[in-house]
Structures are given as structure tokens and as C-alpha cells.
């Protein structure tokens, strides 16, 4: 019924062979350099060089072997492309224009004139940094305005913002839960949640993806063995573009008397008639979920994360969460930009409608072309699953050569035989953009 998330990531045959080759290569490198294995250090002999040199760290060596192997196969790295301006539906890289499907600028609000103007005003008023933790002397009115607006969006008591989306989950989970507690997460949950659970010391169990019945059975078996129990889901899963049956999870959490947390990093601005997220999509009350989490770096055109919920939760985090307490406050222009983006989202429901229409169109066209889109719901995220990592990297390069920027997702981020390209839609994409991209995608998949 349950299994650790690493089971989901276990590679297929191709990845298993790759790992053995990597290990063999590492051993040969160590032997050729006359260095002894790790046991030498334990027996009192000289400390092996790989234990104090980053260049010999196994993780870095593995990265080098994979990169060199890809280069020998004629596959250049698809990562760290330098964009020369704002990246929304289109972008410019190395002087050339591309259709862009690799950014989370879902409503085109990064680059929106009103959002940029708000950031510029904040710089003139507050400077570029608050230069202190908010608890001591880093509090500014724009922080409170943003948090009040986020709380109102969810219909809850309060909200608190962090300077990093990843750190929001790590710090929140690390503070609120401990060794006597259990955290159950969807098997495809984001890395930030896994890191937060590890910091907390709580028992961790993964649950099959989008399977509330499996969660119900798990809680029947384990709820009474722990003090606090938390269930963590995502509003919209970034690798697959699908979402949970949230009302069913709410019913289960109430019956078993556990906490429920929803990570809305990708669902805010994307789901619901006005873009208010999975809560609006299902018509739920804000209090139906105990911890609402989200990021400011996607729809809201800034950087950082937030937690929204009851006053006791938010006050606890503001005074004791290390990632908030010991971190400098969010830069005023970032907070102002996200606040302006939130207001623009409310003013421009047509952008939400356009985004949803483009996502549905992309999904329908891709399926008609025989492209494997997995379980995507067509809400801004559509994967094209092509098999192994090499195929995905080559496909990304082929599309790039034809003016389309779409990033590959490779093992170990997904299982080796589920490597894919992910297409992130934007409200500014046109139907012609979608039609051209899917046609090119189908052609290049056929050539692989």
C-alpha cells in the first residue's frame, strides 16, 4: 500500500546499466590514482583524497561521466541557457527568438507594465533591501499588504511570506513536526517537502499518486501510532500536469483527525475561473485545508513563498520558523511586484481563461497526434513522454533548432523510461503558436 518515494524513482534497465558503468568508472579512476577505498580511513590509514576534495566527490564524478557521455553522443547540454530579456510566451536566446515553453510565467505578469511599475516605486521608497530580519527591523508596510492580500485570497486568518519557495516548505515542516509525528505525502511530491520532512525527524510515508483510497487505508493502519499526522499534496503536479480530488482528501483528513497541506506552487493563477487555485476549482472554503502553501515566483511574478491559514499557525511561524526568523526580509520591490501581480490577476480574468484555453488546445492537439501526455489535465502543464533520457535530450535539441524552447526532464527527476519534455503554457501563447509547436513536436518524435 505504501512505499518510499525512492521506489517511484527506481530506474529501469537502461538506468541500472548506467549506474553500474558509473560505479565501475569511479573505481577505475580511484585505482589508477593509487587511492584506497573508504575503509582505509576507518582502519587508521591515510585519509583518501576523495574525502577532502570536491573534484573527487562521487556526485560530481557521476555528473562529469554523464556529461562526457552525452557529449560523445553529440548531445549538448540543454541547461543554463541565457535568456536576454523577459521570458513569457516568447524569449530571446543568443540573439535569436524562440517560442518559450520553459517558464512559469503563466499569466504573463512578469513583464506586465503595472507590475514592473510597482516594483520601481518600491525601490524609490524602500531601497532594494530591508537589510534585516523582519522580526527586528526589516518589517515594511508592503510585506503586510502582500500577506493580507494572500490571506484574503484564501479566505483565512493570516499569511506569512518567506524569501524562498523551497525554504518555505523546509522551514515550515521542520518546525511544526517532530519524531513523534507522521507525514504522509503523495509519491510525486516536490523535493522541498521531502527535505522539510527530513529536517523535522517525523516518520515519512509516501502514498500512491492521486489515490485517496490508498491514503484512507494507510491512515486506518497508522493514525493511532502517532501524535500529529500531516498529509501533503500539490494543487497541480509540475511533472505530470494533473491534480488531486481535493474534496475527497478533505473528507479523509477530517475523519482521521489529521492536518492537510496543499502546495499551490503551480495551481495558483492556473486553476479556477479567476485563477484563485484549486480551492476555487472545487468550491472549497479556506478552512477546509489547514496549511495553504504557494510560491511567488510563478503566477505572482516575484520570488519567495508563503503559508496561509489560521492565526495560530502563522504567528507560530513568524516567531519560530528558522527560515523566516533568521532570514532577511523579502526585498521590497519583490514584495511589491507580487502584490501588484495578485491584484492584476483579479483584474484580468480573461488571462486566466486564455491560459486554460491554450492548455486544453495543446493537450487535445498532442493527443490527436499520438503524443504520450500521461495524466495531464491540460491546465498549463503538458508533458510529452518519450522514453529514456537520451531521447528526451535529443528531442529538446531538435525543437530548439526549430525555434522552440522546451526543457527535457531526465532521470533521476523522473523514472528513466518516463523521461519527457515539459511544456508550460502561458496566457500570451496564440493558437498558431500551439498548432506549430505540436506539429513540430510530432514530426521530431517520429524522427527519433
Residue pLDDT, tens place only, 356-393: 999 999 999 999 999 999 999 999 999 999 988 889 99
404 pLDDT more than 80: yes
CATH number of the domain at 83-110+349-447, please?
3.90.1150.10
CATH of 130-330, one of 3.90.650.10, 3.10.450.50, 3.40.640.10, 3.20.10.10: 3.40.640.10
Backbone torsions φ then ψ of 397, nearest 5 degrees: -65, -40
How many angstroms separate the first and last alpha carbons of the chain?
A: 37
Dihedral sign of CA atoms 284, 297, 131, 120 in order: negative
Greater pLDDT, 99 or 44: 99
Strand 203-207 relative to strand 182-186: parallel, antiparallel, unpaired? parallel
Query: Domain locations in the chain?
Result: 83-110+349-447, 130-330
Kindly report the CA angle at 269 between 264 and 273, in degrees rounded to 5? 115
Q: Residue 51 and residue 40: Cα distance in Å, rounded?
A: 11
Backbone torsions φ then ψ of 228, nearest 5 degrees: -90, 140
8-33 burial code (b ≥16 CB/10 A, e <16): ebebeebbeebeeebeebbeeebeee
Alpha helix (H) ranges present in 3-112? Answer: 5-8, 13-32, 39-42, 58-72
- 11 pLDDT tier (thresholds 50, 70, 90): very low
Dihedral sign of CA atoms 370, 376, 382, 384 in order: negative
pLDDT score for 2: 42
pLDDT score for 1: 44
* Helix, strand, or coil (residue 260): strand
Say if pTM beats, i.e. exceeds, 0.85.
yes
pLDDT score for 70: 75
Backbone torsions φ then ψ of 150, nearest 5 degrees: -65, -40
19 pLDDT more than 70: no
Amino acid at each position: 500500500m505504501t512505499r518510499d518515494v525512492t521506489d517511484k524513482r527506481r530506474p529501469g534497465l537502461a538506468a541500472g546499466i548506467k549506474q553500474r558503468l558509473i560505479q565501475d568508472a569511479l573505481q577505475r579512476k580511484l585505482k589508477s590514482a593509487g587511492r584506497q577505498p573508504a575503509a582505509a580511513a576507518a582502519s587508521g590509514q591515510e585519509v583518501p583524497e576523495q574525502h577532502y576534495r570536491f573534484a573527487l566527490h562521487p556526485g560530481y564524478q557521476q555528473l562529469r561521466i554523464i556529461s562526457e557521455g552525452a557529449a560523445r553522443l553529440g548531445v549538448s547540454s540543454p541547461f543554463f541557457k541565457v535568456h536576454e530579456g523577459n521570458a513569457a510566451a516568447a524569449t530571446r536566446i543568443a540573439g535569436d527568438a524562440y517560442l518559450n515553453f520553459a517558464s512559469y510565467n503563466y499569466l504573463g505578469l512578469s513583464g506586465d507594465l503595472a507590475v514592473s511599475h510597482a516594483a520601481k516605486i518600491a525601490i524609490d521608497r524602500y531601497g532594494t533591501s530591508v537589510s534585516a530580519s523582519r522580526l527586528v527591523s526589516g518589517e515594511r508596510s508592503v510585506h503586510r499588504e502582500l500577506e493580507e492580500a494572500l490571506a484574503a485570497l484564501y479566505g483565512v486568518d493570516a499569511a506569512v511570506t518567506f524569501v524562498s519557495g523551497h525554504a518555505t516548505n523546509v522551514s515550515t515542516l521542520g518546525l511544526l513536526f517532530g519524531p513523534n509525528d507522521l507525514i504522509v505525502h503523495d509519491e510525486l511530491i516536490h523535493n522541498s517537502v521531502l527535505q522539510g520532512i527530513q529536517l523535522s525527524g517525523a516518520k515519512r510515508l509516501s502514498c500512491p499518486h492521486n489515490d485517496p483510497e490508498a491514503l484512507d487505508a494507510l491512515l486506518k493502519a497508522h493514525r493511532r501510532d502517532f501524535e500529529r499526522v500531516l498529509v501533503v499534496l500539490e494543487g497541480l503536479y509540475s511533472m505530470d500536469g494533473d491534480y488531486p480530488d481535493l474534496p475527497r482528501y478533505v473528507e479523509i483528513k477530517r475523519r482521521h483527525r489529521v492536518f492537510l497541506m496543499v502546495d499551490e506552487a503551480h495551481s495558483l493563477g492556473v486553476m479556477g475561473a479567476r485563477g484563485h487555485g484549486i480551492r476555487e476549482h472545487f468550491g472549497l472554503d479556506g478552512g477546509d485545508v489547514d496549511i495553504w502553501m504557494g510560491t511567488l515566483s510563478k503566477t505572482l511574478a516575484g520570488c519567495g513563498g508563503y503559508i496561509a491559514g489560521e492565526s495560530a499557525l502563522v504567528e507560530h511561524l513568524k516567531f519560530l520558523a528558522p527560515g523566516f526568523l533568521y532570514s532577511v526580509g523579502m526585498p521590497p520591490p519583490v514584495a511589491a511586484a507580487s502584490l501588484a501581480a495578485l491584484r492584476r490577476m483579479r483584474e484580468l480574468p480573461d488571462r486566466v481563461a486564455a491560459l486554460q484555453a491554450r492548455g486544453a488546445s495543446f493537450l487535445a492537439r498532442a493527443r490527436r497526434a499520438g503524443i504520450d501526455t500521461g495524466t495531464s489535465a491540460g491546465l498549463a502543464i503538458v508533458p510529452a513522454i518519450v522514453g529514456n533520457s537520451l531521447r528526451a535530450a535529443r528531442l529538446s535539441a531538435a525543437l530548439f533548432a526549430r525555434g522552440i524552447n522546451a526543457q527535457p526532464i531526465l532521470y533521476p527527476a523522473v523514472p528513466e523510461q518516463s523521461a519527457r519534455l515539459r511544456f508550460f503554457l502561458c496566457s500570451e501563447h496564440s493558437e498558431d503558436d500551439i498548432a506549430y509547436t505540436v506539429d513540430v513536436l510530432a514530426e521530431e518524435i517520429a524522427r527519433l
